[in-house]
Amino acid sequence: MRIGIVVDAACDLPPEWLDAAGIVLLPATVHIGGTSVVDLRDPQATLAFIRTHGRRGHSAQTAAFPADRIRSLFLDRLVIDYDHVFCLTVARSRSRIHDNARHASYAVLNEYRQPRTAAGHATPFALQVLDSQQVFAGQGILPVEAVRLRDAKASALEIHSRLEFLAGRSYSYMVPRDLGYLRERTRRRGDRSVSLLAATLGAALDIRPILHCHQGETGPVDRVRGFEPAARRLFDFTCERVHEGLLTPTLCLSYGGELDAMRALPGYDRLIASCREHGIEVFETVMSLTGLVNVGPGALTIGFAAPPHAFT
């Protein structure tokens, strides 16, 4: 069985890995100042956006790939190239892409027979849209596991069961660099994750929250004075999770800027050494343009799957 994997542009995995794994990307569009940029998971495009717009990026609007274009992508290509496709989306609570993909899937499953038969395939086609319940680096856990299972010749049923299990056990953590940016962005979105008072006090006292996403819910789990100490706190906490045991041999890191700046943060080297010691594969990438617009330049995110835990 030919198994295909689809992700949206918010998924923070290295583009070269996505290409090598044959993963199909659903792009997003960013609108700012009368211009539009298509987010195709291109690190250079993200870095160029930072140089051009910087802190003004909070005024940008993002648009998920529409249902009619998802439908066309599947009917023109994917129903021919694959027999079973998993479409893994950013948390439904954070974007319309999941609902768009679900809406498109109904049409695809009703209309796939003609193009598939014309291509010489007489067998049925299956499509499953899964909510990763994650954002940023946390969204990378499911595609990596799906590729690992596909390459191990697991059945579609086995892959689906495993991905659903991991979706509810994936975690992402983030340290924002610019609280003013994040506060303004969340205000525009109507999101109360970072209140005006918290952002104002945090900026005045140089206090950085460590934010958390699990099962689609987001919120702060700690506050640390200074960005670099907060990054170290997060790296040290992640080392503890690696030592205790992750549910997949995967750790994802993303950063809203040049990766060398992330690698220079205190605690990074210790985390990489810990992952190497425990056989954990580390995926590093510049944050997606869609993600950067929402949280601001310089943000650090980490994602992994693990048993239930507290941030201590």
Write down the residue that tokens 């609570």 correspond to: 93
Q: How confident is the model at residue 71 (pLDDT cuts 50, 70, 90)?
A: very high
The model carries a pTM of: 0.93
Write down the residue that tokens 């499911």 correspond to: 142
CB 37 within 8 A of CB 30: yes
Q: How confident is the model at residue 193 (pLDDT cuts 50, 70, 90)?
A: low
The arithmetic mean of pLDDT across residues 188-206, rounded, is 58
pLDDT of residue 121: 95
Sheet containing 281-286, strands listed edge to edge, beginning at the edge strand earlier in sequence: 217-225, 207-214, 170-175, 300-305, 250-255, 281-286
* Residues 6 or more apart in contact with residue 26 via CB below 8 angstroms: 6, 7, 8, 9, 65, 70, 73, 87, 97, 101
pLDDT of residue 179: 83
Which of 171, 281, 186 shows the shortest CA–CA distance to 217? 171
Q: How many whole angstroms from its chain centre is CA 127?
A: 21
Tens digit of each residue's pLDDT (9 = 90 or more) over 262-310: 999 999 999 999 999 999 999 999 999 999 998 989 999 999 999 999 9
pLDDT of residue 188: 66
| Rounded distance between C-alpha atoms, residue 293 and residue 283, angstroms | 21
Domain boundaries of the chain, sorted by first residue: 3-167, 170-305
CB-CB neighbours of 263 under 10 Å: 13
The arithmetic mean of pLDDT across residues 136-142, rounded, is 98
Equal CATH topology for 3-167 and 170-305: no
Instruction: For domain 170-305, say whether CATH 3.40.50.720 is its number.
Output: no
Instruction: For domain 3-167, say whether CATH 3.30.450.20 is its number.
Output: no
The arithmetic mean of pLDDT across residues 104-128, rounded, is 96
55 pLDDT more than 90: no
| Rounded distance between C-alpha atoms, residue 194 and residue 295, angstroms | 11
Write down the residue that tokens 């999101």 correspond to: 191
CB 216 within 8 A of CB 141: no
pLDDT of residue 184: 77
What is residue 57's DSSP assignment? G
Q: How confident is the model at residue 255 (pLDDT cuts 50, 70, 90)?
A: very high
Q: What is the helix (H) or strand (E) element at residue 43, kind and residue range?
A: helix 43-53
